[in-house]
Amino acid sequence: MNSLKYLSNLGLDYIAEKQALGNKYQKNGQMMRRFLQLAQQNGYEGPVLERELVEQWCAKTAYETENNHQQRIGFIRGFAQYLTRLGYPAYIYERKSSVISYNYQPHIFTNRELAKLFRAAEALPDTKRYPFKSTQICLILKTLYSTGMRSSELAHLRKVDVNLTSGVLFISEAKFHKERYIPLNPTLHRKFREYTNYMCGFRCWNDSEYFFVNSAGKCHKDIYHPFRETLKLAGISHGGRGYGPRMHDLRHTFAVHCLRNWVRDGKDLTNALPYLAVYMGHSGIRSTQYYLRLTSELYPDITQTLDADYGWMVPEVGTYEDD
């Protein structure tokens, strides 16, 4: 067995281990193939990750997004840590910053905007093709804000994942494979029961496994266009696709409003922040910490408290980290 084939086996073993732990790891599998090709092109010998090869892999390419760049860095760091755990020499690349930054600045809805948004959703015109539009979109938007769920998680929510007795949702189709339970507040719990009773009158819903369906009974993935329609009806300006407000901003608004209320109520964020990270399905605490900076910028009345008590937790980078 030559050294490159041996490295290939280690790479396959690493991917297999991740998948055995419940990770799909499809994109990282593609990255592994690309990395092994790079190693072969450079005459790499032996199951050793040398610094020169790792830094060549981690160099940002032309026109590459920062998100993709950081993903490649995260991949090779994980592989290096795996090799180190097995006893092989491996250089672990050091990240240049603790926060992945993006140009997009999330739109944090005010309480007034949220009220206008929900009223507009209730006023959406139902159509013959979409007879439950207003009822469904209104509940979808309220759920995204009240729970901080991702829109993809909501779209894949199945009926078996909704416990109408206890008022708890099970999120199985989650990013980073962070399965979790989300309790509904009493008002939203009641809305879920009312929605269920109403949707029982539609065959497309009765025949589907999904809780939020389109008129064909399929998973409701096109929430973007009804959301844009609702924004327009509410009189909330939109800068176009990629500029927002986006549906994902309801998730950001949930996090910021939660932190705002905790600070004003005197909660200990050192203990509370990890709970919020788990609740929102973050891969780590970094994404949640970003909201501290955003909360401080939006609510000057709590800036002094945040800086004095939790300044060490607030990242210096003032840009957006997607989650």
Instruction: Tell me: pLDDT of 3 over 70.
Output: no
Span 177-233, pLDDT tens digits: 678 999 999 999 999 999 999 999 999 999 999 999 998 889 888 888 999 999 999
Res 322: pLDDT? 44
Q: Where are the beta strands (DSSP E) in the chain?
A: 162-163, 168-171, 180-183
- The fraction of the chain above a pLDDT of 90, given in percent, is 43
Q: Quote the radius of gyration of the chain (alpha carbons, Å).
A: 23
pLDDT band for position 320 (50/70/90)?
A: very low
Instruction: Tell me: pLDDT of 319 over 70.
Output: no
Instruction: Tell me: pLDDT of 270 over 60.
Output: yes
Of residues 86 and 274, which shows the higher confidence score? 86
Q: Which two tokens stand for residue 309?
A: 């008590």
What whole-number distance in Å separates Cα of residue 252 and Cα of residue 258? 10
The model carries a pTM of 0.66
Based on the number of CB atoms within 10 Å of its own CB, is 251 exposed (0-12), middle (13-18) or buried (19 or more)?
A: buried
CB 147 within 8 A of CB 281: no
Instruction: Tell me: pLDDT of 166 over 90.
Output: yes
Distance of CA 314 to the CA centre of its chain: 20
Distances (CA, A) of 16 to 12, 23, 90: 6, 9, 19
Res 45: pLDDT? 67
Residue type, 116: K
**Other C-beta atoms lying within 10 Å of the C-beta of residue 261:** 12
8-state DSSP, 104: P
Fold of 111-234: hpI Integrase; Chain A (1.10.443)
Res 134: pLDDT? 96
* Lowest mean pLDDT, pick from 3-17, 109-123, 281-295, 306-320: 306-320
Give the domain ranges of the chain: 3-85, 111-234, 249-313
What whole-number distance in Å separates Cα of residue 19 and Cα of residue 13? 10
Beta bridge partners of 163: 168
